[in-house]
Homo-oligomer: A and B are copies of this chain.
């Protein structure tokens, strides 16, 4: 085991608590209790609360960078767009705390997050953009779409919706079956209809 068991448990509980209560709303005492150690033991692994914050965010964005680029780089397929969109949604739905943490951090430290997005997210956004531009020139994508702005909104739509999903589902009619599933399906539909020119059956992004 490369990193100690306690260290990764601290990261796990810190992620959970920062997401639920925010950084300022979470004491290192509370994290230590959740882990099952004393406060000074936590501070042996992370020299300060600020260092723990950075480590939590680092881990989140590192995992993001493990999952998404390879999907984006994969051989062109008919449903590439759906694949990337679903993978992004899956990543955050798998643990909605990731979305909440990212939104909180963006509100708490806009400049810090901006620099991280520049480093972690922009590269694969640029790849997606070059493919989408090609599809736009070929007429598969709405000519009027402002692609960089579209992608930014799409990411915000996915991350933001998942971050507050538990509150949003409550606004849907109660009788509806799986309200989360409905929100997700409609998110996908909105993403597609905002992108693809009206050729219902032929929507691939980069079919060679």
Contacts and interface: CB of A to CB of B under 8 A. Distances in A.
Given A22-B24, A103-B107, A171 B186 contact: no
A117 B171 contact: yes
A109 to B, nearest CB: 9
Interface stretch (A61-69, A70-78, A87-95, A139-147): A139-147
Interface of A: 21-25, 100, 103-104, 106-108, 110, 113-114, 117-118, 121-122, 125, 142, 144-146, 148-150, 152-153, 156-157, 160-161, 163-164, 166-168, 170-173, 176, 182-183, 185-187, 189-190, 193-194, 198
B25 A167 contact: no
A142 B23 CA distance: 42
A187 B153 contact: yes
A167 to B, nearest CB: 5
A114 B170 contact: yes
A145 B194 CA distance: 13
21 contacts: A21-B108, A24-B25, A25-B108, A103-B160, A110-B164, A110-B166, A110-B167, A114-B167, A114-B171, A117-B171, A142-B193, A146-B182, A149-B172, A149-B183, A150-B190, A152-B168, A153-B161, A153-B190, A156-B164, A193-B194, A198-B198
Contacts of A185: 146, 149
Given A104-B107, A186-B149, A156 B168 contact: yes
Contacts of A103: 103, 107, 160, 164
